Structure 1
Amino acid sequence: MEKLLDTEDEVMLRDAARGFLEENAPLSAFRANRDAVRSYDPALWSEMAQMGWAGVLLPEEAGGADMGHRAAGILSEEMGKTLVASPFIASAVIAATALRDAGSDHLADIAAGQALYALAIDESAKFSPKHSALQARGEGNAFRLSGRKCFVADGASANRILVLARTSGSAGETQGLTLFNLDADRAGLNREAANSIDARDFATLDFDNVEATGDDVIGDVDNGLAAITPALQAGQAALAAELTGLSSGIAAITLGYLKERKQFGRTIGSFQALQHRAAHLFSEIEVTASAIANAGRVLDAGGSSDLAVSLAKARATQTAKLAVMEGVQMHGGIGMTDEYDAGFFMKRARVGAEWLGDYGYHAAIIAAHRGL
């Protein structure tokens, strides 16, 4: 695959984002957040919103920057390099896309960084929106939601929830699902924070006869999968970009270590076997970066994007896996100690591989497009 080059505007955006994050959100900031038992820094998120990042996909009339999905991918990639934790993907990408397409009146709050969304889709260990079984029982002009959602991104800290619930049919059917936009303090909604290995905000949400009205419905009743699918693809592309940034981040740390660590009287980076492994990793990251750029541009162009997005997420997952394995191995046993940062990258890569569909999920989509 030929590498897709950034445009002049994209280069400027990347340089600005990198400079801001290197100064305000280095790896030491991630470690500080983890030690303080907080999933992200609200003050940092507020600054991101002021810079227009929270409204990257929203129109200017809603207070957004309207820069598009490729720009969102660049921001995600730069955040991945230093493991920046924020509500960016769940709120500024997924929720913003779903609500923008539905013409919601919550867009200005998202652009301002004030509406923080959790994504309540998963109900089992594997991502499969059409298998949602959480019931939304009709009750006059309202609904009553009952059931459980797990692996809910930003579930403990969000003030609003996007939840996919079944209003008709059975789990596994694509029709009969409805997307709801709820405030997080709705009566009957209980949130329990999960102990995520990457120190991010994931939670389990229990719905006990939670009331929702017709005004809470996004899109059409029984056609919620159509309402959430473009938003999920936008999130998958952004997450793939974050994983690619993560790969670049751990690769840079590893190269620095190879240049400093000495064994047998010479730096270990002078060993040809390690040079070959580093070169191979560099090549994989470059190819994956092109897949990421392509996914963003396909999303911006409109039309069918599931193949480009799944290719990006599948490649990013595998590249991140290679990058963190090589990083930890080249560091030796100390790579997994808390004193070194390499282990943080491995943990985030593992969670990112599962969220919004693992390698197998996206490989199946690619195979279907190729008639396999």
Structure 2
Amino acid sequence: MDFDLTEDQRLLTDSVARLLGDRYSFEQRKQLLAAPPGYSEPLWAQYAELGLLGLPFAEDFGGFGGGPVDVMLLMQSFGRHLVLEPYLATVVLAGTALRLAGNEAQQGELIPAIAAGELRLAFAHSERQARYDLTDVLTTAKAEGGGWVLEGAKSVVLHGDSADKLLVSARTAGGRDDAEGISLFIVDAEAAGVARRGYALRDGSRAAELSFSAVRLPAEALLGERDQAFPIIEQVVQAGIAASAAEVVGGMEALQAMTLDYLKTRQQFGRPIGENQALQHRAAEMLVNLEQARSMAMLATMVLEEPDAADRARSISLAKVGVGQAARFVSQTAIQLHGGIGMTDEYAAGHFFRRAMVFEHMFGDTAYHLDRLAEGIE
């Protein structure tokens, strides 16, 4: 397998590195965290100008026709700077649902607006009682008057508080845990009956609790086939795992470099603490875990286009476990080697640690994916 980057991919990574190096220092990020909407609107517009928001979409709809590897490279760059913009929510999660399930009219209306930076979306599937079970859906959509009436609630919707439109899963048939009978709908975030409560996650990124009370939707709000959305939801979550795993690997790269620099410059008893052999061993273990995580993130990226659903699910769970465990080790070791300064808000190491901890619980935690692997994913 050829792991060399193409010329376009090198240009992509170089241009993003320059942009973030100029505009996304740790101090600048702290300012964004303190002001609404929790990220930079001007930078979002610059992402659109660079073509980043249209990266995975077909050229027919104003995109660049990129693939999973292109998204992986971009997310790694985002991870090195702890980027706050809703790329994962809008382009990866909602964008994947649109690409897989949207008809030509829906894609023609929404994707060009996403690519231009004019439309932000959120993917609303998780519910409070479901934990990580993707089939556990209590939100309902009932056919009425040629359209639909949506009732229910969604939990921890990434960037749901600032999205213009929501892609919402709802049960249109079957029982609570049935895989069949789930449908997807495009919902205007400002529609009557939609309520949103936004909040910051532990790493500072944004999420929201959503509720839907007698929300009336037109017939064309249905995304994909009625009752058949579950395979799409699975693939959306898998794309989210692959992209966020790449992001965390980028964060681990930055954290390891930061830790090595600290070991070389921090003086104790008249010499750098990095001369201590025990600390050198810990730094070497950080590197080993980082490289293992990089390999697992690449695996997750490569299998996204695997046609066998069982093989794809198995590899994605392996990657989620591997990257999550490695991220925990690297971030905890970095904090230990930095000492007390590592957990202060004024120093970046603690922020990378928090991002790694949030990743571990996104789209199913380590225990959940280990259970799936032990049971044999079907």
**TM-score of the superposition, structure 1-length normalised?**
0.93
2:261 is paired with a residue whose SS is helix
Runs (4+) of structure 1 moved beyond 4 Å? 300-303, 368-371
Q: Residue type matched to 1:147 in 2?
A: G
Structure 1 residue 100 and structure 2 residue 99: aligned? yes
Question: More displaced, 197-206 or 357-366?
Answer: 357-366
Cα deviation 1:38-86 (Å, max 9, x = unaligned): 3210111111111111111100111101110111011011101110111
Structure 2 portions without partners, runs of 5+: none
Give me the CA root mean square deviation: 1.9
Q: Tell me how far apart the structure 2 counterparts of residues 37 and 277 of structure 1 sit (CA, whole Å).
A: 39
Q: Residue type matched to 2:47 in 1?
A: M
- Structure 2 counterpart of 1:363: 370
Change (3 A) 1:227 1:8: closer
Contact 1:68 1:300 in 2 (8 A): no
- Structure 2 counterpart of 1:257: 262
- Structure 2 counterpart of 1:110: 114
Structure 1 residue 139 and structure 2 residue 144: aligned? yes
1:345 is displaced (CA, Å) by: 1.2
What percentage of residue pairs aligned between the two structures are identical?
A: 35
2:286 is paired with a residue whose SS is helix
Q: Residue type matched to 2:20 in 1?
A: L
1:133 is displaced (CA, Å) by: 0.8
**TM-score of the superposition, structure 2-length normalised?**
0.92
Structure having greater relative contact order (Cα 8 Å, sep ≥ 6): 1
- Structure 1 counterpart of 2:315: 308
Q: Tell me how far apart the structure 1 counterparts of residues 137 and 33 of structure 2 sit (CA, whole Å).
A: 32
- Structure 1 counterpart of 2:76: 77
Q: Tell me how far apart the structure 1 counterparts of residues 377 and 178 of structure 2 sit (CA, whole Å).
A: 24
2:135 is paired with a residue whose SS is helix
2:357 is paired with a residue whose SS is helix
Q: Tell me how far apart the structure 2 counterparts of residues 30 and 51 of structure 1 sit (CA, whole Å).
A: 20
Contact 2:53 2:91 in 1 (8 A): yes
**Matched residue count:** 369
| Match of residue 124, structure 1, among 115, 124, 128 | 128
Equivalences for residues 312-327 of structure 1 within 5 A: 312-327=319-334
1:119 is displaced (CA, Å) by: 1.7
2:215 is paired with a residue whose SS is strand
Q: Tell me how far apart the structure 2 counterparts of residues 370 and 215 of structure 1 sit (CA, whole Å).
A: 34
Contact 2:127 2:155 in 1 (8 A): yes
1:138 is displaced (CA, Å) by: 2.4
Q: Tell me how far apart the structure 1 counterparts of residues 307 and 251 of structure 2 sit (CA, whole Å).
A: 27
Structure 1 portions without partners, runs of 5+: none
Q: Tell me how far apart the structure 1 counterparts of residues 175 and 290 of structure 2 sit (CA, whole Å).
A: 41
Q: Tell me how far apart the structure 1 counterparts of residues 54 and 320 of structure 2 sit (CA, whole Å).
A: 23
Q: Tell me how far apart the structure 1 counterparts of residues 228 and 271 of structure 2 sit (CA, whole Å).
A: 63
| Match of residue 296, structure 2, among 288, 291, 298 | 291
Change (3 A) 1:306 1:47: same
Q: Residue type matched to 1:44 in 2?
A: L
- Structure 2 counterpart of 1:47: 46
Structure 1 residue 88 and structure 2 residue 87: aligned? yes
- Structure 2 counterpart of 1:152: 157
1:260 is displaced (CA, Å) by: 1.1
Cα deviation 1:223-271 (Å, max 9, x = unaligned): 1212322222111110111111111121111111111111122111111
Q: Residue type matched to 2:336 in 1?
A: Q
Q: Tell me how far apart the structure 2 counterparts of residues 23 and 307 of structure 1 sit (CA, whole Å).
A: 39
1:131 is paired with a residue whose SS is coil
Change (3 A) 1:188 1:225: same
Q: Tell me how far apart the structure 2 counterparts of residues 32 and 154 of structure 1 sit (CA, whole Å).
A: 18
